[in-house]
Amino acid sequence: MNEEERASVGRAYWQATIRLTIGLLIIWFAVSFGAGILLRDFLDQWSVGGAPLGFWFAQQGAIYVFVVLIFVYCWAMRRIERRFGVRV
């Protein structure tokens, strides 16, 4: 692989990594800020374990989603690294 091909693969790797990171951050923002603050009044129509759903998202749901996103990030990064032949 010549230097130009290596640079092209490197750019593609970083584009995939940045796309994944931005996508996961958008999901996290939507859940933590959107559900916990912007949609709180709407979501409070329902309850989870006796707590209004908007309150639950602000206190518990955003944290659960964040932990799930960590596992999704690890899984997706492993796939991206395998696809581009990155060894750590």
Owner of token pair 């374990």: 49
Q: What's the pTM?
A: 0.81
Residue in the block written with tokens 């958008």: 26
- The pLDDT, as a whole number, for residue 42 is 93
80, 13 in Cβ contact below 8 A?
yes
Q: How far apart are CA 30 and CA 38, in angstroms?
A: 9
Provide the residue-wise pLDDT of the chain in tens; the chain has 88 residues: 788 888 999 999 999 999 999 999 999 999 999 998 999 999 999 998 899 999 998 889 899 999 999 999 999 999 999 999 887 6
Looking at residue 87, its pLDDT comes to 78
Are 36 and 57 in contact, with CB atoms under 8 Å apart?
yes
Predicted local distance difference test score (pLDDT) of residue 14: 95
